[in-house]
Structure 1
Amino acid sequence: MEDAGPAAVIVAHGQPSDPVPAAAEIAALAAAVARHLPGWHVRAATLAEPGALARAVQGAPGVVYPLFMAGGWFTRTNLPRQLAAAGGEGWRLSEPFGTDPAVRDLTVAIAREALAVARAPAILLAAHGSFRSSAPSDVAHAMAERLEQELGLPCKAAFIDQEPRIAEVARRMPEALCLPFFAARGGHVVSDLPQALAEARFRGPVLEPVGLDPRAPALIARAIAALGTATGG
């Protein structure tokens, strides 16, 4: 058993068809976050792994941090339902990664730094989207608007799971800077995004997902600590 101390679980969607690599990536992220949270026990789980969430929330309740880009169906409906089924009574649910103002600031910083090198004529913000909820696209469109305003370049959000599709927008912006607005490197980033860009004959630079930026673990740790302090964790 772990020594007494505040606990946090970082929860991601994972990859149902091949859960092991995604689980390893989130576990590595949890270890990086833990380095910013001395005294905390930071664990990881993906919803794609059978039983992973139940194992992660054993023991005294703490903070569940959704590694998602928006407060849509997965974080507002599915995750609370799965948390209850996993015996996670008393665990406090943080706001998702992509809704954190500090993460949005980071997204602007990533784009600004990349443009200083690439000098692309526009920005393509590649995101997941959703058929179930408008929340993911609302967050992405708002982020695209902010990037356009602050960086002075055209910026369009495009999606894997809804219109406008990434390939469609990439055809109109073939030399743009592609910024994947994702929390992790899942199947969409590894397979779907490159396929869509190849289909569009996209020639611009493609960055790593926002969630893989080395500054992200500190931001996640700050959000976890703030919720733990606010609720007496």
Structure 2
Amino acid sequence: MSGTRSPFPKAPATEALIVAHGQPSDPAPAEAALAKLAAQVQALRPEGPVRAATMAAPAALESALATAGGPVLVYPLFMAAGWFVTDALRKRLAGAPATVLRPLGLDPGLEAVALRGLRVSAARRGWSEGETEVLLAAHGSATGTAAGRAAQGFAAALAARWPGPVAAGFVEQAPGVDEVARGMGARMLCLPFFAANGNHVRDDVRTALAAAGRADALLPPLGAHPAVPELIAAALRAAEGLGAAA
């Protein structure tokens, strides 16, 4: 008998759930955007269901967990392991057979994604990397330190590999995005260290750049980069591999 099919059927992949903050004032658009991301990850990881839920949409997270009906890998689409990931999300997952993975902002592969995007953006403007300054615009926090530390750490990692100056500016802590932008030269790119193109990017970061006369420097948020679905799929595969080896 020819063929290579194993007589032992492969166990189904663990179900996955991508969770994001969402937009409390208008949950539907963020839910739709996250569902689109989940579909992209699903195409890269067809062996198991990939669902999505924002924490802002009423009962969306609980409904997704109920649909899974078993163990689930939860991928936090956040840029830091801050309060939402370590406290709010875990409380809402209490009692569910869920494993929470490292958030997007702490993925070791994200730095390379950012560098590729910056190189393309600088080249499109006809700038060399050495003369291109980078402003990493991040959320920060007026009450905690995790968000600020994550952004500063990411900025430092970029600075070690990007030939031009790199600095972080924040929406909710000092130094502000507008303050940092004013101190940079004419050839500046602003990379939003955000998971999605939500109100903070569209309104807060854009307004801060406009106040500094630098609205033209704004790039799409890092979480919207086309390579992010593969990062998520790889993280899910790695988590399943570790589970299988345990």
Please say whether Structure 1 and Structure 2 have the same fold, judged by a TM-score greater than 0.5. yes
Which residue of the partner structure matches residue 71 of structure 1? Answer: 81
TM-score normalised per structure 2: 0.87
Q: CA deviation at 1:222?
A: 0.5
Percent identical across equivalent pairs?
Answer: 44
- Secondary structure of the residue aligned to 1:92 is strand
Which residue of the partner structure matches residue 81 of structure 1? Answer: 91
Q: CA deviation at 1:190?
A: 1.4
| Structure 2 residue corresponding to 1:55, chosen from 53, 63, 74 | 63
Q: CA deviation at 1:215?
A: 1.0
Does residue 102 of structure 1 match 2:109? yes
| Structure 2 residue corresponding to 1:117, chosen from 116, 119, 124 | 124
Does residue 226 of structure 1 match 2:238? yes
Alpha carbons 2:20, 2:54 under 8 Å: kept: yes
- Secondary structure of the residue aligned to 1:79 is helix
Q: CA deviation at 1:207?
A: 1.1
Give the aligned length: 227
With over 3 angstroms needed to count, the CA separation of the structure-2 counterparts of 1:148 and 1:60, relative to structure 1, is: same
Which residue of the partner structure matches residue 24 of structure 1? Answer: 32
Give the partner amino acid of 1:227: A
Alpha carbons 1:160, 1:193 under 8 Å: kept: yes
Q: Which has the larger radius of gyration?
A: 2
Does residue 33 of structure 1 match 2:41? yes
Which residue of the partner structure matches residue 144 of structure 1? Answer: 155
Which residue of the partner structure matches residue 207 of structure 2? Answer: 195
TM-score normalised per structure 1: 0.92
Alpha carbons 2:190, 2:219 under 8 Å: kept: yes
RMSD across aligned C-alpha pairs, in angstroms?
1.7
With over 3 angstroms needed to count, the CA separation of the structure-2 counterparts of 1:49 and 1:174, relative to structure 1, is: farther
Q: CA deviation at 1:174?
A: 5.8
Does residue 13 of structure 1 match 2:24? no
Alpha carbons 1:65, 1:94 under 8 Å: kept: yes
Give the partner amino acid of 1:104: E
2:59 and 2:32 map into 1 onto residues whose CA distance is 15
Task: Please identify, of 9-18 and 115-124, the stretch whose mean Cα deviation from structure 2 is larger.
Answer: 115-124
Alpha carbons 1:174, 1:204 under 8 Å: kept: no
